[in-house]
């Protein structure tokens, strides 16, 4: 079973969401912890993955060697892909 870890800024994004949405996201993340590659979708041309929760997206870095799901961003689908450039600017 994979361990869940949040980037500090991703955790802040998550905590700003409504409680019901937070519960849905946690439920989804708990579900994928056992077999993440059965649920996540690779981002084209990038080493990251995404998972959909309604109109929200969770960007992840899946680390199979360490059995870690590293949550990098959480946000609405209309804004989340703009956040990808921030990941590369910071060299993460």
Residue 51 sits in a domain of what CATH number? 3.30.2310.20
d(CA 90, CA 92): 6
d(CA 85, CA 90): 9
For 29, the domain range is: 3-89
* Amino acid 47: pLDDT: 87
Q: Are 73 and 83 in contact (CB under 8 A)?
A: yes
pTM tops 0.75:
yes
d(CA 14, CA 47): 22
* Amino acid 86: pLDDT: 66
pLDDT in tens, 4-58: 999 999 999 999 999 999 999 999 999 999 999 999 999 988 889 999 999 999 9
Distance of CA 16 to the CA centre of its chain: 15
Q: In the chain, how many domains are there? A: 1
* Amino acid 5: pLDDT: 97
């Amino acid at each position: 079973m994979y361990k869940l870890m949040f980037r500090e800024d991703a955790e802040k994004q998550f905590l700003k969401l409504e409680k019901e949405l937070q519960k849905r996201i946690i439920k989804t993340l708990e579900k994928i912890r056992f077999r993440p590659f059965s649920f996540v979708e690779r981002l084209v041309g990038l080493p990251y993955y995404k998972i959909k929760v309604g109109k929200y997206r969770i960007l992840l870095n899946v680390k199979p060697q360490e059995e870690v799901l590293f949550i990098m961003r959480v946000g609405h689908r209309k804004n989340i892909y703009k956040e990808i450039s921030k990941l590369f600017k910071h060299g993460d």
